[in-house]
Amino acid sequence: MAVRVASQTIDGHDLKLLLRAGVSWVSQHADAVNHMNVFPVPDGDTGTNMYHTLKRAYEEVEPLNTDDISFIARRFAHGALMGARGNSGTILSQIFKGFANGLGDNETLSAKLMVNACQHAVTLAYQSVKEPVEGTILTVTREASEALTEQYNGEMTLNQALDILTEAAEKSLHNTPNLLPVLKEAGVVDSGGMGLFFFLQGMARLKDGEKIQDFASISNATADIPDWETALIPEDEEGYGYDVQFLMIGDKMDVANVRQDFENMGWSVVVVGDENMIKVHIHVHNPADPIAYAIELGAELDDIVVENMQRQYQDYVKNRQSNKTPTYDIPAHDVAVISVAVGEGIQAVLHDLRSTHVISGGQTMNPSTEDFLNVIDTLPTNKIIILPNNSNIILTAEQTAKLITSKDIRIIPTKTIMQGISAMVAYGFDADSDIDLDNMVENMQEAVGYVQSIEITQAIRSTEFEGKSVRKGNYLGILNGKIEASHATIEATIEAVFSALETDEYELVTVYYGDGISSESANELIERLSNAIKGLEFEIVHGGQPLYPYLISVE
């Protein structure tokens, strides 16, 4: 169905059709947008984030039956705000909010009103970012709006206005590498700008009479994130099992052998200590097994904690289904911490370090504003710290904090899981003290600066990037957000990254091995690193994270 944009004005029904076409067109090109990731890594998520942001926005207007374009625009903007995921989705939500503000209370949309709405969209989008960068979605938004403003005349139809916006956005998109050198070096255009262009192009194609495939039919890469209940179902048919923690006190205990035995016994294993005292954390189906093992080894046991995770899961589902507010263990100082992480082992570590709630998410699974709000709404405290643990989640977290004025919400801009864990260790030191929120946040931020973050993944394309030659399929060693090494093997890549560090300045290395890596392979890596790098203590944790075989913190 073609939209009647050849006329001077359109109503709310036609605006809904245009918005739906834009969302549909983005859904069909989300994979292409994902592949515009500057880093040649397999977790590009801009297209997925923008699609889910837009889809949530359209869900807000889909049931509406009104001629009023301003009402449609406001509800669409609200849905985008709630569904905003990642930096691109958050900026996109502000574009729509600004556009809606620019419409005022008008009931029909004209080319003149569109000019005003686009100008408001640009203003709010730039205000949403602390340090706006040109060559991004911001530039594409601004230059498209400027082209429309410059070419507007009193006789212009909405058809012409939409064509001008789309053509200017495309031109601006192709110019983004000339404004942002990192794009040119990587051989890509800005992914957020590309997503915005596809949204405009989808609307333009619909008004020209083309049929746009409905956005319900999308690829697996951009499929809906599973609902909370389905996502929580344990993969093991025996259920979640038991969380077991205790201290082993003995003499001349072999930490490496103990760790290996526990690795063979259960999962999410953390074994740290020395020959006289070992701290054990393990998930098992029979809690008697690890306890019996430690006793048979001749160790004394202390500080034993056994938690039935299957019952906790069942209670949580029961409470959620009955709309009961879940209870949380909030420390005496009344400060809750929300962390974001993916991977069963990493989430377990954050829980053990007393994160009040861990939102499942990270690369390719950025949580939305609404996800944060839903958790915050259940917390029985007004003092909350959020650890995004990913650079692409920080803006969404900051936007969430702005929406809630009744609570004191602080964002510690952690960019990696390793930084988040370091911050939680600092939180643990302060958790039961009388320290105030300001000093607690300061201590946690200071702890973030002590850790070096190493991420290992595989390149999805060959490129020259940041002075490094990268070949598709090789492993990448990313140190504090910058590509430090790329080699054919994981071991060579990790060793090359460590060679770039002044290891004399550090003491502890924690290796989180991911989904698809066996404990045997991880322990072999640790042994190799221990032999190659002297003076460092190595720990190993099953993180279970996807796409990144190893995440490593150096402290």
- Identify the top-confidence range among 54-68, 223-237, 262-276, 426-440: 54-68
Compute the distance between CA of residue 267 and CA of residue 236 in angstroms, rounded to an integer.
Answer: 12
Residue 233 has pLDDT above 80, yes or no: no
In which element (H, E) is residue 255 found? helix 255-265
Percent helix / strand / coil, the chain, rounded to 5: 50, 20, 35
pLDDT at position 319: 53
| pLDDT (average), residues 252-279 | 85
Cα 302 from chain centroid? 38
Average pLDDT, the chain: 87
pLDDT at position 4: 56
Coil, helix or strand for 82? helix
| pLDDT (average), residues 472-480 | 92
**219: exposed, middle or buried (Cβ count in 10 Å: 0-12, 13-18, 19+):** exposed
Q: What is the pTM of this model?
A: 0.77
pLDDT at position 438: 94
Residue 227 has pLDDT above 70, yes or no: no
pLDDT at position 9: 85
Confidence of residue 323 (pLDDT cuts 50, 70, 90): very low
Lowest mean pLDDT among 35-44, 67-76, 177-186, 365-374: 35-44
Confidence of residue 211 (pLDDT cuts 50, 70, 90): confident
The angle formed by the CA atoms of residues 479, 485 and 488, to the nearest 5 degrees, is 130
Reading the block at residue 174, the tokens are 């192709």
Residue 363 has pLDDT above 90, yes or no: no
| pLDDT (average), residues 4-17 | 80
pLDDT at position 356: 92
Q: Which of 320, 322, 278 is nearest to 302 (CA)?
A: 278
Residue type, 520: E
Q: Which of 249, 171, 260 is nearest to 524 (CA)?
A: 260
Coil, helix or strand for 127? helix
Residue type, 232: L
Confidence of residue 154 (pLDDT cuts 50, 70, 90): confident
Q: Which of 152, 251, 123, 136 is nearest to 192 (CA)?
A: 136
Residue ranges and CATH numbers for the domains of the chain are 9-219 (1.25.40.340), 226-324 (3.30.70), 327-450 (3.40.50.510), 452-554 (3.30.1180)
The answer to whether the beta carbons of residues 52 and 368 sit under 8 Å apart is yes
Residue 516 has pLDDT above 90, yes or no: no
Confidence of residue 216 (pLDDT cuts 50, 70, 90): very low
pLDDT at position 130: 87
Residue 104 has pLDDT above 90, yes or no: yes
pLDDT in tens, 106-141: 999 999 999 999 999 999 999 999 899 999 999 999
Residue 385 has pLDDT above 90, yes or no: yes
Compute the distance between CA of residue 100 and CA of residue 105 in angstroms, rounded to an integer.
Answer: 9
pLDDT in tens, 523-551: 999 999 988 888 889 999 999 998 899 99
pLDDT at position 497: 94
Compute the distance between CA of residue 487 and CA of residue 467 in angstroms, rounded to an integer.
Answer: 14
Residue 316 has pLDDT above 80, yes or no: no
The answer to whether the beta carbons of residues 14 and 23 sit under 8 Å apart is no
Residue 148 has pLDDT above 50, yes or no: yes
Reading the block at residue 544, the tokens are 């279970």
Residue 512 has pLDDT above 90, yes or no: yes
Compute the distance between CA of residue 473 and CA of residue 351 in angstroms, rounded to an integer.
Answer: 34
pLDDT at position 515: 87
* DSSP of 411-459: E----SHHHHHHHHHHHHHHTTS---HHHHHHHHHHHHTT-EEEEEEE-
pLDDT at position 283: 84
Q: Which of 357, 318, 321 is nearest to 336 (CA)?
A: 357
Confidence of residue 223 (pLDDT cuts 50, 70, 90): very low
Tokens 């069942």 belong to 314
Reading the block at residue 129, the tokens are 């970012």
The answer to whether the beta carbons of residues 554 and 451 sit under 8 Å apart is yes
Compute the distance between CA of residue 192 and CA of residue 175 in angstroms, rounded to an integer.
Answer: 13
pLDDT in tens, 186-203: 888 999 999 999 999 999
pLDDT at position 225: 39
- Contact partners, residue 13, CB within 8 Å, separation at least 6: 65, 66, 67
Tokens 């091995």 belong to 513
Residues shown for the chain: 555
Cα Rg of the chain, angstroms: 26
Q: Which of 5, 27, 33, 26 is nearest to 17 (CA)?
A: 5
Confidence of residue 51 (pLDDT cuts 50, 70, 90): very high
Compute the distance between CA of residue 270 and CA of residue 511 in angstroms, rounded to an integer.
Answer: 11
Lowest mean pLDDT among 204-213, 286-295, 343-352, 485-494: 204-213
Q: What are phi and psi of 160, to 5 degrees?
A: -65, -40
